[in-house]
């Protein structure tokens, strides 16, 4: 089985770890914006329009945080595959994933053929 050169994996690992740090910071930042985290909200007798606005903002923040957590999970998976030497290989068929695909989606786990079969 062919492997990626260590210098390529090293720079990729550095990039992914930086992305992980950036996303974690963004999750923390978004979490502070969630109106439902305000302890005063429980005793607040806000008007209906205020409640609707708070709920809308909560839903927006929750969706963004969920999306970032999914991306963090994909990054953790890629870092694990780098560590165990399986990075760049399709988790379904074992074929090497095209390097152009990995350049665009460094967390890809499937080759294009398997990705198309999935859909």
d(CA 28, CA 36): 14
pLDDT of amino acid 47: 56
Contact of 1 with 89, CB cutoff 8 Å: yes
pLDDT of amino acid 40: 57
CA separation (Å) from 5 to 1, 11, 66, 75?
13, 10, 33, 19
Beta-bridge partners for 32: none
pLDDT of amino acid 35: 67
Residue 79: partners with Cβ closer than 8 Å, 6 or more residues away: 13, 16, 17, 20
pLDDT of amino acid 45: 55
Residues of the chain with pLDDT under 70: 1-2, 35-52, 119
pLDDT of amino acid 71: 96
């Amino acid at each position: 089985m062919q492997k990626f050169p260590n210098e390529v994996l090293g720079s990729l690992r550095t990039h992914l770890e930086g992305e992980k740090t950036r996303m974690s910071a963004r999750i923390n930042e978004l979490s502070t914006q969630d109106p439902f985290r305000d302890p005063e909200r429980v005793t607040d007798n806000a008007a209906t329009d205020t409640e609707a606005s708070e709920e809308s903002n909560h839903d927006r923040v929750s969706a963004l945080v969920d999306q970032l957590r999914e991306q963090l999970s994909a990054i953790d998976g890629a870092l694990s595959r780098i560590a165990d030497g399986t990075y760049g290989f399709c988790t379904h068929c074992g074929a090497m994933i095209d390097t152009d695909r990995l350049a665009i989606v460094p967390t890809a786990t499937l080759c294009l053929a398997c990705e198309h079969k999935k859909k």
